[in-house]
Amino acid sequence: RQMCKETDVEYLIEQAAEKGDLPSAKLGVWRVINSTADFLATLNRVFFQNGVGSNLKEVFSLPILPPNYQEHVTELVTTQDFSVMKQK
């Protein structure tokens, strides 16, 4: 499988880390959070009225979630450590 580098989140975060560009890395993090939240909403058969960022509390209360999902999301949103962003 080959991905376009400009849309590959892992590549985006890696490049941002090399440049010390925290805002771009955070953009990549939010892309991951949005994608997983959309998937979880589909899995749980729910729809959101607003964007995922507005509905994180609702996402965290879904019955089907990966273990420690809320902790991982909270860590990704609050960290300024590029290595944490790359490994999650």
What are the pLDDT digits (tens) for 19-34? 999 999 999 998 888 8
What confidence tens digit (pLDDT) does each residue in 63-75 have?
999 999 999 999 9
Per-residue pLDDT at 7 exceeds 90? no
Output the CA angle 44-46-85, nearest 5 degrees: 70
Distances from the Cα of 74 to the Cαs of 27, 29, 41, 77, in angstroms? Answer: 15, 11, 18, 5
Predicted TM-score (pTM) of this structure:
0.79
